[in-house]
Structure 1
Amino acid sequence: MKGMGMMPARSRKPMSEINVVPYIDVMLVLLIIFMVTAPMLTQGVKVDLPETTSQPIQSDKNVETIVVSVDSNGAYFMDIGDESSDPMSLADIRDRIAKILSQRTDREVLVRGDEHVEYGTVVRLMAQLQAAGASNVGLITEAPSIDE
């Protein structure tokens, strides 16, 4: 009664293929999420920069830049790296810049001034930056558009 009721044993071969369809689905979902959220990550103050031809500033990529913005209403904002601030007073900006520059003097300070803001507003800001210890203050502009 050797073979009665017994099935011959089959040897299973290991499967050598990987089903990548679930991985592709996950990748496409992540791609869509990043495409939707990437434009929302750009922060900052809406400033219409004056257009002029100028040479770009040669900066060290290892140095974190401090950008102080003045919007068209004359409000001051400070951006350090990816961190953006709420509107600040000139005294607050001077104190914060002085504190930052006392720790690291190699940081660059740049000013983004709206082209419609009064000249005196930007000059007062630059005077406060120099009082805080910023020896070199750069101005950010945009290149003129070609259609002019």
Structure 2
Amino acid sequence: MAMAKKRQWVKPQTPPNSDINVTPLVDVVLVLLIIFMVLTPLLEKDIEVRVPETEVDTTPPETNDQLVVQLTDTGAIKINAEHMSSQEDYVNRLKRMLAVKPREERVVFFMADDKANYGALIGVMDGAKTAGAVVLGMATEDLPEGAVVPGAEGAAPAPEAPAPTP
């Protein structure tokens, strides 16, 4: 019989290191940081925004009884140059004016002063929806001096309001 070989185990002098070596990780992160710091200024460009094309409607309005609600910088509300005393009065008056129109013609245009409170404008628009308005439109150009809004007493023809966007 042959002599059985004994296996000898070599015991390491130090136990295995189970800690994560973070030095290579830090090196990689710093290299990536430098790359992004160099590339970021080169990537800044203008933001492309798709703006809808403007259409100029040259056809005259069918009727001259458009509802134009104006909101002044002090928060005063006018319907076709008629001052409203309160939000409730405004909603009730607009409800009566819209009730006589067919549903598809219940369009209300808004002209807000540049310094008007945004929350007040939203409240006025919400009041128009409550009163039964189907389409709300924003007028982006001020009325010329001396122009009278249609529907006011002694009204002269005013410039036509922009086409509504549903």
Distance of 1:54 and 1:72 partners within structure 2: 27
Give SS of 2:115's match: coil
The alpha-carbon distance between structure 1 residues 120 and 100, as it changes in their structure 2 partners (threshold 3 A), is same
From the superposition, tell whether residues 114 and 56 of structure 1 become closer, same or farther in structure 2 (CA, over 3 Å). farther
Partner SS state of residue 86, structure 1: strand
Name the residue aligned to 1:25: none
Which structure has more RCO (C-alpha within 8 Å, separation ≥ 6)? 1
Instruction: Spell out the pairing of 1:104-115 with structure 2 (5 A cutoff).
Output: 104-105=101-102, 106-115=105-114
Aligned partner of 2:79 in structure 1 is 78
Displacement of 1:69: 0.5
Runs of 4+ in 1 over 4 A off after TM superposition: 53-59
Residue 59 of structure 1, CA deviation = 7.2
2:88 is equivalent to residue 91 of structure 1:
yes
Unaligned 5+ runs, structure 2: 1-52, 143-166
- Whether 1:121 aligns to 2:120 is yes
Q: Structure 2-normalised TM-score?
A: 0.46
After TM superposition, the structure 1 stretch with the greater mean CA deviation from structure 2, 54-63 or 102-111, is: 54-63
Q: Which amino acid aligns with 1:78?
A: I
Q: Is the CA contact (8 Å cut-off) linking 1:64 and 1:107 kept in structure 2?
A: no
Could you list the runs of 5+ residues in structure 1 that have no partner in the other structure? 1-52, 144-148
Q: Any conservation in 2 of the 1:63–1:107 contact (CA below 8 Å)?
A: no
Correspondence for 1:103: 100
SS in 1 for 2:129: helix
* TM-score of the two chains, using structure 1 as the length reference: 0.51
Q: Which residue of 1 aligns with 2:69?
A: 68
TM-superposed CA distance for 1:88, in Å, is 2.8
For residues 43-69 of structure 1, the C-alpha deviation after alignment (integer angstroms, 9 at most, x for no partner) is xxxxxxxxxx95456773325101110
Matched to 2:141, the amino acid is E
- 2:141 match: secondary structure: coil
Structure 1 position 87, deviation (Å): 3.9
**Counterpart for residue 129 of structure 2:** 130
Pairwise CA distance, 1:101? 1.2
- State how 1:9-24 maps to structure 2 within 5 Å: none
Change (3 A) 1:98 1:54: same
